Amino acid sequence: MSWIQSTIHKLYSVVTRIRFPEDPGHATGFFYNNGGNTYLITNQHVLKQGSNTDQNSAYEPIYSDNSSVYDSIRIFIRDMGALENTNPIDISLENGRGTDYLLHPELPAIDMVAIPLDFELSLVSDNEQLLTGSLALNEQFLPRHTPLDFEGLFAPTTLTMGYPGNFQEENADLPICRDSKIASPYDYAVNDAPYFVIDARMMDGTSGSPVFFDPMTTDHLARHQNIRQEFKIPLLGVHSASLQQTNAPFHEIRTDLNIVWYIQLLPEILSGESELFDN
């Protein structure tokens, strides 16, 4: 299937399925380069045994207090020039927080985690110097907009890339890209928490999915900023969980509203320094 390589957008190579030992479930993660290192970015609850992907509030625990972290997780790295070939790599979590995975320094309950990897991937924007099949994002993909850039934008469309439910693309296990709408004001902290809400039908397995602005919104921002956004569709955040209604009939429990943690939290996780409470 190597003939199809040139037709696949490079962002598909940024995302990986996450598997667990002795657990049939899965989740989603993506690769991010910072300071000469490559990290796997996903949700904190993905690392917890018996985690629950549905929640009523972002600051309610989404896993039981006595749940423990898996000893390891498995990710998949694609071959250079043959993206359909994926190689499983087991990532140890036995040394715990601060070594095997990094949480937010001020709010460790934030459902985002960075896992240092012992190999480095090429950047998705390195057009002439790709050395690996799987690729990584970096700070170039972080939002660079100002409030003025959102003039005329209302409920902009986003794209979420992940592995929903039991569906699996059998040839290359490529992630699925789904449309969604930003349902809460962007650049606004819902319930005073650093997340926004998207309207989308998400499913188990999409926890840890990266959320991007769609190409039309990216073009709008590029015109306002007078810059060229080639391969730099802004990364907005990390999908975490679906919001559910309480005390509702079973068929009305799902709201199709989902929490996305702002990607601006990621540099704080990687640096260990927080600006959340700075005036």
CATH of the domain at 164: 2.40.10.10
**What pLDDT does residue 146 have?**
55
Number of domains composing the chain: 1
For residue 229, being part of any structural domain is answered with yes
**What pLDDT does residue 211 have?**
95
To 10 degrees, the CA torsion angle through 100, 106, 109, 111? -70
**What pLDDT does residue 256 have?**
80
For residue 276, being part of any structural domain is answered with no
For residue 278, being part of any structural domain is answered with no
pTM over 0.75: yes
**What pLDDT does residue 59 have?**
45
For residue 244, being part of any structural domain is answered with yes
Provide the domain limits for residue 179.
2-268
For residue 273, being part of any structural domain is answered with no
For residue 239, being part of any structural domain is answered with yes
**What pLDDT does residue 27 have?**
94
Answer whether 159's CB lies under 8 Å from 236's CB: no
**What pLDDT does residue 58 have?**
46
d(CA 3, CA 5): 6
For residue 232, being part of any structural domain is answered with yes
For residue 116, being part of any structural domain is answered with yes
Chunk the chain into consecutive blocks of 10 residues (it has 279) and report each block's average pLDDT, rounded to whole numbers: 63 94 89 96 89 50 62 93 89 86 90 95 81 91 65 72 83 86 83 88 86 72 53 82 64 74 94 63
